Amino acid sequence: MFVLITYDVNTETPAGKKRLRMVAKQCVNYAQRVQNSVFECHADAAKMREIEERLIKIIDPEHDSLRFYYLGNKYETKVKHIGAKPSFDVNNPLVI
């Protein structure tokens, strides 16, 4: 399934800046960054539970937030991109 992961981490403290780096690092491990705090991910339900659990352990729910938008498998008609930084389909072969 196709999932959009977004986050907002309060960076007013050194601990918040550390959480931001940790959340971003975990997202990069599983998804493609499309904007600063927005990632596109292709994963099954079990992998998404794993990703969610990892991210929930990092954030401070009193100050930070996570959002997961489950767009499913027929997401092509639900995503429209305009402007710089076009994404690529991670399911297609990557030719270098």
Predicted confidence band at 71 (pLDDT cuts at 50, 70, 90)? Answer: confident
Q: Which residues contact 19 (CB under 8 A, 6 or more apart)?
A: 9, 58, 59, 60, 64
Q: Which sign, positive or negative, has the C-alpha torsion 14, 20, 26, 28?
A: negative
Q: What is the pLDDT of residue 73?
A: 74
Work out the burial of residue 88: count CB atoms within 10 Å of its CB; fewer than 13 is exposed, 13-18 middle, 19 or more buried: exposed
pLDDT digits (tens, 9 = 90+) for 13-61: 999 999 999 999 999 999 999 889 999 999 999 999 999 999 999 999 9
